[in-house]
Amino acid sequence: MYTWMGGGLLCAFSGLVLLIVATATDFWMQYRYSGSLSNQGLWRFCVGGRCHPHTITIAFWDATRAFMLLSILSCFAGIILGLTAYSSSARSSRTRSAGVTLLIAGFFALLGLSVYTGVTVSFFGKRYTDWRFSWSYILGWIGVILTVSAGTSVLCSWGVGGGASPQDPSFAVSPEFPLSQPGHKRPFFVSTMGAPTRAAT
């Protein structure tokens, strides 16, 4: 369980860093404009070494920004839930919530990158003959892979954990259980070796 959880949280943290870098930087796409190599991100475009903010409101940029920001927030929330699951008595529910939240983060980033890819290929691909996706865009896709992998690993840790935590009070057997009272069937208990054994008479 802890191996799956640890690996999942490591992937989630790495994915969060990459998503933040991808969203904040200006190298989603590179192209030639008037003979100069130019690049653009979600917030700015740079021509001839000078960067300027996007002043025109375009729906696909707004959608991509929104999905990427939602992905970052969801990934951060998933990491917090995963970390608190270690020390919580409600480990099962928090672990599951962390895994689902990380998968949602990957889904949001996937939507944002898909929207950007579709519009860029159909519009900029026809407008510019010399263009390519750049490293910020690539980091975004790696972030998607890492967050989805993180969510899957955390959910696997929840499945391996098998529900309630060993710290859960429901695992404890009360020494005052009325084994000797008439009419009570002697229950099966789990021995220290993990095999079911019948309580001694």
Average pLDDT over residues 70-89: 89
The whole-number average pLDDT for the span 129-146 is 94
Among the listed residues 125, 137, 16, the one whose alpha carbon sits nearest the alpha carbon of residue 78: 16
Mean per-residue pLDDT, 117-137: 85
All structural domains of the chain, each given as residue ranges with its CATH number in brackets, are 2-169 (1.20.140.150)
Are 43 and 53 in contact, with CB atoms under 8 Å apart?
yes
pLDDT at 87: 66
**pLDDT in the model for residue 49:** 79
Strands 196-198 and 188-190 come out as: antiparallel
Proportion of the chain above pLDDT 70, given as a percent? 76
Q: Which of 5-14, 25-34, 169-178, 183-192 has the highest mean pLDDT?
A: 5-14
The arithmetic mean of pLDDT across residues 151-167, rounded, is 71
The dihedral region occupied by 186, where left means phi > 0, alpha psi between -120 and 50, and beta the remainder, is: beta
Res 1: pLDDT: 58
CB neighbours (10 Å) of residue 125?
12
User: Quick one: pLDDT at residue 167?
Assistant: 46
Q: Could you please report the per-residue DSSP string of the chain?
A: -HHHHHHHHHHHHHHHHHHHHHHHSS-SEEEEETTEEEEE-SSEEEETTEEEE--S--HHHHHHHHHHHHHHHHHHHHHHHHHHHTT-TTHHHHHHHHHHHHHHHHHHHHHHHHHHHHHIIIIIHHH-SSEEE-HHHHHHHHHHHHHHHHHHHHHHHHHHHTSS-TTSGGG---TT--TTSTTPPPPEEE-TTSSEEEPP-
The residue among 146 and 37 whose pLDDT is bigger is 146
- Highest mean pLDDT (candidates 93-107, 111-125, 171-185): 93-107
Q: Could you tell me the two tokens for 7?
A: 């690996």
Q: What is the mean pLDDT of residues 94-102?
A: 93
Rounded to 5°, angle at Cα 93 from 87 and 96: 105
How would residue 127 be classed by pLDDT, with cut points 50, 70 and 90?
confident
Q: Tens digit of pLDDT for each residue in 18-68?
A: 999 999 999 999 988 777 788 999 999 898 878 889 887 788 889 999 999
- CA–CA separation, 123 vs 141, rounded Å? 21
Where is average pLDDT lowest: 45-49, 68-72, 91-95, 135-139?
Answer: 91-95
pLDDT at 4: 84
Rounded distance, CA 28 to CA 35, Å?
19
For residue 130, the tally of other CB atoms under 10 A from its CB is 9
Mean per-residue pLDDT of the chain? 81
What's residue 89's pLDDT? 55
- Report the C-alpha gap between 119 and 121 in whole angstroms: 6
Q: Residue range 68-84: average pLDDT?
A: 96
